[in-house]
Structure 1
Amino acid sequence: MTILSTSRCKQIHLISGSVLGVFVLCHFLNHSLGLVSIGAMEAGRHVFTLVWQSLPGTVVLYGALLTHFLMALDSLYRRQTLRMPVGEALKIIFGLSLPFLLIPHVVATRVEPLLAGIGGDYPTILRALWSSSANTTRQTIALLFVWSHACLGAWFWMRGRDWFPRYETLLYTVALLVPIFALLGFVNGARSLGREYAEHGGYGDRDYASLQQRADPALLENIRLAFYGGFAGLIGGTLALRALPSRGRIRIRYPDGRVAAVSLGFSVLEASRAAGISHVSVCGGRGRCSTCRVRIIQGLEGQPVPEAAERATLARIGAPDNVRLACQFRPAHDVSVVPILDTDSLGIKTQLARQNGGGRERRVAVLFCDLRDFTRIAEHTLPYDTVFLLNRYFEMVGEAVESSGGVIDKFIGDGALAIFGLKTPLPQACRQALNAASRLSQGIRALNQTFEGELDQPLRLAIGLHAGPAIIGEMGYGQATSLTAVGDTINTASRLEGLAKEHDAELAVSVELVQHAGFDLQGHRRLDMGLRGRQARLETCIVDDASEISELLPARG
């Protein structure tokens, strides 16, 4: 029986880690005052100790330290597999190594002055650390490990927050500069321990001598060994408990036929990692995003209900009852799942090779498409899900265009520009463009079926098609150079896409393109569109459902 729920343990872990993070930040800022003088370090230390060495501060600090370490061991024990992303592994390694790096420092700065009955100050500690290269190296490594662990923990917590992108640069700058200033202050303070302090009975000299006389080295060594043994025993005991055979086995089936057979207590995400199955998890398995979510297609009955953190995330994205977060869902019996976000969908497939397309005029067919009202949809969607949804949409557009014989020129926001006819004659290019429009219409319907129940309203497309001359070439600057097309034909296709939106239709195509393709779209609305800068008007065909034109097209564009 679990005393604390997983979500409550994570909350306690986060709160204790926040307390320690504030302590570390204050301590490092105090170190950085060494860039001014040892006097400044001492002045800062008096304020620092007034807070953290008071009775309440001591209880909070060491309570948070013990709690954080125990919660880390609990998290390690609960983790059913040690397969994990590099960032998570580094955070655990840094965390478990910290006690062994910090024990000598804690004994020298807190235990030894306590036993000697005098307070340790910066000159005393700096002299002790600077007198030995081993002490200096160990202190530097400990500082970097402590700060790296704190930053990784903070990053895992912050990166899923809506406000994080606004302050990302500032936070990264702080994360980089704090340890640099702390180390520079430590070095500058140690080097400034000059003869003037001894001559004037300065900071810590007499205390330091007294401390060296009154502290029992054998006792201090025994205390250090006791700390080492205690922490090593806790970590070793946790790993030993993990190695004990657990009761019961369950099988998690995936849509490609693979099966992960794991012990009871595994989450679906842990089962995927243990079986070597790629599974998206942007937030690191903390239930703060929904990228790892799965649809349960068999075995939903009798499963544990979502806890508060999972329930809140699922509610925010409007997930149906059969969708769970893989990082939080720990099946009680066999289950079949379908990961909704697959790893291949996180990027856009490689475009077709763009050869012989530079510096020339060519008659081409141009397709513009754009998602309608996507800004409104994104307002009610988590940032990770918005990125995923756009990438699925872009992937669908890329496949529709490339399978029809075209090339994606660029993606613009939630829109796309595609060119047909770089290697084919214009009539064939126009047929390819119409075929791509039909595929886009079918593809957006497939996406709506996939995300049914997760979107407040279905995705809708607006497509514009036109054909004519365009300048094709490599344009841009530096690494931003790419093959693109410019000219009146491109602008006209863009305006046709806007016309489709105005008439609440899926496709607006110039009759000129339809005629080049050898078709006549009878039965659809026709308009004469005026174009800025041109006296002639453009006859346009409005198609409410672009998938209908597939019946007029051959199997291949």
Structure 2
Amino acid sequence: MDLSYAIRQGRHISGVILFVYVLSHLINHSLGIISIAAMEQGRDVFLFFWRSIPGTFLLYGSLSLHFILAVLAIITKRKFTFKKIEIFQISFGFLMPFFLIIHIFETRYAYEFLNMEDKYIMLVANYWTYAKDKFGIPGLFHPIILIMFAWIHGIIGILKAFKHKSWFGKIKNYFSFFSFAVPFFAIAGYLVSGAAVITEKKFNSQKLNARAFCDNGYCTQGYSDYVRLAGEVENWYVLVFFTMFFAFIMSVTFRKSFASIKIEYPNKKIVISGLGTTILETSQDNGIPHASICGGNARCSTCRIKVTSDLNDLPRYTEIEYNLIRKLSFSKDIRLACQLRPTKNISVIPLTPVRSTILGIRDTSRIEEFSGIEKELVVVFIDLRGFTSIAEKKLPYDTIYILNKYFEVAGDSIEENKGRIDKFIGDGIMAIFDRSNNIKENSLDALKAATVLSTKLKDLNVVLKDELEKPLEIGIGIHKGKSVSGMVGYGKNYSETAIGDVVNVASRLESSCKDLKCQLVASKDVMIAAGLSSSLFSSAKINVKGRKGKVNVYTIKDASKINMI
């Protein structure tokens, strides 16, 4: 297994375990809003697992593994540059131990070796009354700082690990609220409980405050030992931290000093790369635009390249690259730039365009739009029936007038219901409903748009009755599913669109309206997602070109009569 992949997977697994621990701990803190007693009751539940033998092994094993793998990830990094989000994550991660070490000693260590019951009332009093640590930070702020460092570090890790999963888009808004709510209530619980403790008449700071008691020269040998041990561990941590930092600098400097591999890009652009550096890292280090939606984690294939030099000079596939390439059936000359670490000179062509290569500028802030991103959405096709025969009998200016009035009605109906027009196809329209991360809302919005359009078309026919021999008629097809959305086009003419089976099916459903003698054909998937009762509509099964099997649909003769309640 590739070392960098193994390190990343180990960090993800251990990180998720630690995140669950932190989450349950902060939920416990938030009970302080109710009372100290509620915190203590929650603590009993919290400690039931985390202080059991399996829980202890899981917690401290994950903590040790996560720290070791984080150090390895830094030391094996092949460049000095970091993304902004990485700087935040790394900084909070390595600053956290300065506040975490003493916390572990005054809780788990004191409980196991000093027979001290580390209850919330003692710990809260301890922090609220302890003056300042050796860094000059008042004790009151220690838990708040530790909460923010641990939570932000964890949230960034969760985002990096899961944001490219198809299911994450559905919960993104909930996750954002959750990300802010958990630390807010945890800190609020700590502050409310602290205020309650120090205003309690029975409170005696010397009995409850172990650290303050020690600083006044009255502590027992046990207390003195744990304070001394915590200080020694912190000193060792500082030594490890600076050793890691020095090793990182030396490692990157060594690789750059002995860089000797020539990588040739299109237009005969040649750059020099170091041994062990991926093609993607070389591109990024030298300002060469290179698509990589997943951030170089081999979760997509947007960084893929075509190798135009001798394939026999290429190193073997990493396990993760081999699995992805086999799944996508790439030829032998197609490799993933994020995984390929050339050992000899190589010529490559990046295959996925990014904004900088498309428009000739270096701004890559919208890479996902130009590389494509998978999402679940609702597609609507609308076609004006028999308009060709109408146009044949009208002057060109009159035809344009009628067509624009129809487009105005259709466009308003779509946009009023949170949709967007993707493109005009003659007298037809393709619309997309993807504003919400909830597919139910998008499905309902699409059906509402069809209902509103049908109603407004009746009004338009009244307005145009003197211009038309017969009323305008439309066919509407609606389907939901996964699609790849991105910017497509040529030269300076680019627009966002969706591509995939969902588009094909929606188009075919619209075409079937004529044969089924109805105004709207919606797939069963859309109706189920919208939560509408199927008993209200006629059902059918139709063949869709390019698809195996029939598609279950519902037909509506007059879309204006759909009851959305």
TM surpasses 0.5: yes
* Number of aligned positions between the proteins: 393
Q: Deviations over 1:142-197 (max 9, x none)?
A: 22121111111111111111211112112222112111111111111111104547
Pair 1:42–1:161, CA change in 2 (3 A): same
Equivalent residue, structure 2, for 1:31: 29
Q: How does 1:367-406 map to 2 (within 5 A)?
A: 388=370
Q: Do structure 1's residue 163 and structure 2's residue 167 form an aligned pair?
A: yes
Equivalent residue, structure 1, for 2:219: 213
- Please report how far the alpha carbon of residue 262 of structure 1 lies from its aligned counterpart in structure 2 after TM superposition: 1.5
Q: Do structure 1's residue 334 and structure 2's residue 267 form an aligned pair?
A: no
Q: Deviations over 1:284-306 (max 9, x none)?
A: 21111222222222243231232
- Counterpart residue type for residue 193 of structure 1: V
State the TM-score, normalizing by the size of structure 1. Answer: 0.61
- Please report how far the alpha carbon of residue 413 of structure 1 lies from its aligned counterpart in structure 2 after TM superposition: 6.2
Pair 1:138–1:209, CA change in 2 (3 A): closer
> Counterparts of 1:496 and 1:73 in 2: how far apart (Å)?
55
Q: Deviations over 1:209-236 (max 9, x none)?
A: 9887221144543343234334443444
- Please report how far the alpha carbon of residue 311 of structure 1 lies from its aligned counterpart in structure 2 after TM superposition: 2.7
Q: What root-mean-square deviation, in Å, do the aligned CA atoms of Structure 1 and Structure 2 show?
A: 4.3
- Counterpart residue type for residue 135 of structure 1: G
> Counterparts of 1:190 and 1:184 in 2: how far apart (Å)?
10
Equivalent residue, structure 1, for 2:8: 10
Pair 1:206–1:294, CA change in 2 (3 A): closer
> Counterparts of 2:372 and 2:114 in 1: how far apart (Å)?
65
- Counterpart residue type for residue 270 of structure 1: E
Q: How does 1:28-177 map to 2 (within 5 A)?
A: 28-131=26-129, 132=131, 134-177=138-181
Contact residue 289 and residue 356 of structure 2 kept, 8 A: no
Equivalent residue, structure 2, for 1:399: none
Pair 1:31–1:491, CA change in 2 (3 A): closer
Contact residue 267 and residue 330 of structure 1 kept, 8 A: yes
- Please report how far the alpha carbon of residue 7 of structure 1 lies from its aligned counterpart in structure 2 after TM superposition: 2.4
Pair 1:96–1:337, CA change in 2 (3 A): farther
> Counterparts of 2:206 and 2:12 in 1: how far apart (Å)?
38
Q: Do structure 1's residue 254 and structure 2's residue 265 form an aligned pair?
A: yes
Contact residue 307 and residue 348 of structure 2 kept, 8 A: yes
> Counterparts of 1:194 and 1:416 in 2: how far apart (Å)?
68
Name structure 1 gaps, 5 residues minimum.
351-383, 392-411, 418-429, 431-465, 498-531, 539-557
* The one of 291, 295, 311 aligned to 1:300: 311
Pair 1:248–1:231, CA change in 2 (3 A): closer
- Counterpart residue type for residue 226 of structure 1: W
Equivalent residue, structure 2, for 1:228: 238
Q: Do structure 1's residue 19 and structure 2's residue 23 form an aligned pair?
A: no
Name structure 2 gaps, 5 residues minimum.
132-136, 384-395, 431-464, 473-565
Moved more, 240-249 or 69-78: 240-249
Contact residue 255 and residue 338 of structure 1 kept, 8 A: yes
Pair 1:415–1:325, CA change in 2 (3 A): farther
Equivalent residue, structure 2, for 1:494: 427
State the TM-score, normalizing by the size of structure 2. Answer: 0.60
Moved more, 211-220 or 80-89: 211-220
- Counterpart residue type for residue 4 of structure 2: T
Q: How does 1:270-349 map to 2 (within 5 A)?
A: 270-344=281-355
Contact residue 263 and residue 348 of structure 2 kept, 8 A: yes
> Counterparts of 1:147 and 1:114 in 2: how far apart (Å)?
27
Contact residue 78 and residue 277 of structure 2 kept, 8 A: yes
> Counterparts of 2:29 and 2:285 in 1: how far apart (Å)?
43
> Counterparts of 2:429 and 2:18 in 1: how far apart (Å)?
59
- Counterpart residue type for residue 134 of structure 1: P
Pair 1:262–1:213, CA change in 2 (3 A): same
Contact residue 124 and residue 205 of structure 1 kept, 8 A: yes
Contact residue 38 and residue 122 of structure 1 kept, 8 A: yes
